[in-house]
């Protein structure tokens, strides 16, 4: 297993860091306060080829190829809508329905917590097409902005990740052409599980990035802040916190890289590894962000320093794409050979 980066990967990492520090970091607090989704940076991200990165090649094979190109160019925004008010962890309990009428499907229902719900040009939504067939009776549909009967609902006012849009999505007698059925009829739920395998790696990577940021912020502050006539980094209790944080971050990094490495190999299952990476990275990121606030003392509690934002934002990672408890169920099922 080789985790050292190629020259191209190192270059990509450098340009992403440069872009983030130059174009994003100066505005994050302003966007956070205003709950502003920064559409204006999308074309720049697309120009750098970063938006396409999140679309694995196999999604084209699953029928997303025609959406993939506009999304990857940054000219259109996508959303993926599974969660409902009564169907969260139990996504098989989806209640939104799709009824076939001639060569159309008519969708009725509502989704909650859809990322990009207000901005999406395309939204992939799950709906029940055959109630008698359980999880094999749920299908995936591509909804296009402006379709009659399809609209975003309430925008959520969130604890963290406030610059990202999270909204309800509502279907009211929404008429969807047959060609917008994504993949095979009844395979939307099983398709979602496969998508979640990959999605969990991205949440794990998000958690890892924030944990790394919190570690760097805490280390910098500990070296600058003086109490009792010396930098607080001279106190062993602060050193031990930093040592624990750094060790947790490195352990999470290995799990995330292992899952990503497996995902890049074709025809290898990585359900267990992606759940482990997501579970571990998100849980340690919460702990690392907590210690980052602690090392900042009172300054960790105010918005002049980045600690409080890491603390608020990182919590999502233990919830989105399946809670930590659901990751444990997935891992246990894999260990026990259960379906
Ligand atoms: C900011 C944000 C963005 C999101 N973006 C999207 C998106 O783009 N698309 C989308 O479809 N969804 C999205 N979600 C939804 C997210 O995936 C769900 O919130 C998550 O899966 C949990 O579902 P729930 O909120 O209904 O919690 P519940 O399922 O009600 O869980 C509540 C608690 O019960 C526990 N629990 C539930 N079932 C079990 C069980 N069997 N065993 C043990 N414990 C259990 C959970 O772990 C949790 O602690 C987003 C959520 C947020 C907050």
- Over pLDDT 90: what percentage of the chain? 77
* C-alpha span between 90 and 322 (Å, rounded): 10
Total-model pTM: 0.93
Q: Average pLDDT in the 70-97 region?
A: 88
Q: Give the least confident one: 32-36, 57-61, 284-288.
A: 57-61
Give me the residues paired with residue 128 across strands.
97, 138
Query: Which residues are registered as beta bridge partners of 231?
Result: 226
Q: Is the pLDDT of residue 206 over 80?
A: yes
Contact 317, 285 (CB under 8 A): yes
53 confidence band (pLDDT: 50, 70, 90): low
Q: Where does ligand 1 bind, in terms of residues with CB under 6 Å?
A: 80-83, 88-89, 113-115, 158, 161, 166, 316, 319-323, 325-326, 329
CA distance 74 to 187: 28
pLDDT at residue 6 greater than cutoff 60: yes
> pLDDT tens-digit profile of 123-157?
999 999 999 998 899 999 999 999 999 999 999 99
Kindly calculate the radius of gyration of the chain based on its CA atoms and give it in whole angstroms. 21
Alpha-carbon gap, residue 289 to 214, rounded angstroms: 6
Does residue 338 surpass a pLDDT of 70?
yes
Most confident option among 26-30, 72-76, 89-93: 26-30
Q: How far is the CA of 30 from the centre of ligand 1 (A)?
A: 28
Query: Measuring from atom 6 of ligand 1, which residue has the nearest CA?
Result: 114
CB 45, CB 81: distance < 8 Å:
no
Average pLDDT over residues 64-83: 67
For the range 27-30, what are the long-range contacts, defined as Cβ-Cβ under 8 Å and sequence gap of 24 or more? 28/163, 28/309, 29/303, 29/309
User: What pLDDT does 54 receive?
Assistant: 55
Instruction: Give tens-digit pLDDT for 286-299.
Output: 999 999 999 999 99
Q: Ligand 1, closest atom to CA 81? A: 11
Provide the pLDDT confidence category of residue 59 given band limits of 50, 70 and 90.
very low
Output the pLDDT for position 69: 31
Question: What is the rounded CA–CA span in Å between residue 129 and residue 109?
Answer: 13
């Amino acid at each position: 297993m080789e985790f050292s980066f190629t020259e191209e990967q190192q270059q990509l990492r450098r340009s992403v860091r440069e872009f983030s520090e130059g174009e994003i970091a100066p505005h994050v607090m302003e966007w956070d306060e205003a709950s502003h989704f920064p559409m204006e940076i999308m074309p720049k991200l697309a120009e750098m080829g970063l938006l396409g990165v999140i679309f694995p090649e196999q999604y084209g094979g699953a029928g997303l190829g025609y959406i993939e190109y506009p999304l990857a160019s940054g000219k259109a925004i996508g959303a993926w809508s599974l969660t409902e008010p009564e169907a969260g962890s139990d996504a098989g309990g989806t209640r939104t329905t799709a009824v076939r009428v001639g060569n159309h499907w008519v969708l009725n229902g509502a989704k909650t917590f859809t990322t990009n719900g207000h901005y999406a040009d395309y939204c992939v939504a799950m709906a029940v097409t055959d109630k008698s067939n359980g999880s094999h009776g749920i299908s995936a549909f591509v909804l296009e902005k402006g379709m009659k009967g399809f609209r975003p609902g309430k925008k959520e006012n969130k604890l963290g990740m406030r610059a990202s849009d999270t909204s309800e999505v509502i279907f009211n007698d929404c008429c969807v052409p047959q060609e917008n059925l994504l993949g095979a009829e009844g395979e939307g739920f099983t398709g979602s599980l496969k998508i979640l395998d990959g999605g969990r790696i991205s949440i794990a990577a998000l958690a890892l990035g924030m944990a790394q940021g919190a570690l760097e912020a805490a280390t910098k502050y500990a070296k600058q802040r003086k109490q009792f006539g010396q930098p607080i980094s001279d106190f062993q209790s602060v050193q031990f916190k930093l040592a624990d944080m750094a060790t947790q971050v490195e352990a999470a990094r290995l799990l995330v890289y292992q899952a990503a490495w497996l995902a890049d190999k074709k025809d290898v299952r990585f359900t267990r590894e992606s759940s482990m990476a997501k579970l571990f990275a998100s849980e340690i990121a919460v702990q690392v962000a907590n210690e980052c606030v602690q090392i900042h003392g009172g300054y960790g509690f105010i918005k002049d320093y980045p600690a409080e934002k890491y603390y608020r934002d990182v919590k999502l990672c233990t919830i989105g794409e399946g809670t930590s408890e659901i990751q444990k169920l997935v891992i246990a099922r894999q260990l026990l050979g259960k379906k």
